[in-house]
Amino acid sequence: MRRTIGVLAASAMVAVLVAAPASADPQGYIEDQFEFGYFYGTFDQSPNVVLFAGGEAEEFCGGEPGTAPLRVFLRDDGSVNLKVNDKDQPIYLYYNDKEDPDVPLWLEDVCNGTSDPEPFAIGTADLKVRISVISENLVDVFNSVNGKATGIDGREYKVRASADLIVENGVPVGNPEDFVDLKLTEIRR
């Protein structure tokens, strides 16, 4: 099993949390749309791989490219839970050939036009998201993608990625190496 780390994009999460309506039945839920764009990467591996869920790398330059059905649960204690469970979300796999395998730096080159990468595999995955707003300054976040991708060379891959972290005052707590996982397994025939 290879050791993996990655980074996620979840800036839309904070906007959704703050905008949750306060007039819903505490035992029911409110339906809405969730805008997202998650990315995960392997570091210090050869080759380094980047997984984008929700859209291609270029689509992340303008914000979160994906959407999925959202359920917002308002709890009696004042906390808010957001849940997404959707199928067939697009995923794209790229090789990261930069000396520094940091995904945000790699994506910055894409958005600046200094890099024009092509995905080596494209597929779909099931998306699961759970965001628990414990307080204004404390959020528990989990997201995962689980699916398959087909390479331009015909190879097939099983793809699993997840992030499980705490966000305090808008900043993820800890090192991505501790809360993000990406596994890419070639499917043998």
**Which domain range does residue 54 map to?**
11-186
Domain membership of residue 1 (yes or no) is no
Token pair of 86, please? Answer: 């959707």
* Rounded CA separation 144/128 (Å): 5
> Taking the model in full, what pTM does it have?
0.83
Q: Tell me: the pLDDT tens digits for 109-121?
A: 999 999 899 999 9
Query: Does residue 3 lie within any of the structural domains?
Result: no
Contact between 31 and 70 under an 8 Å Cβ cutoff? The reply is yes
Contact by Cβ (8 Å): 184, 161: no
Total domain count for the chain? 1
147 lies in some domain = yes
Quote the CA–CA distance of 133 and 111 in Å, as a whole number.
31
- pLDDT-flagged residues of the chain (< 70): 1-27, 43-44, 100-101, 189
Neighbours of 121 (CB within 10 A): 22
The answer to whether position 124 is within a domain reads yes
| The length of the chain, given as a count of residues | 189
User: Is residue 4 a part of any domain in this protein?
Assistant: no
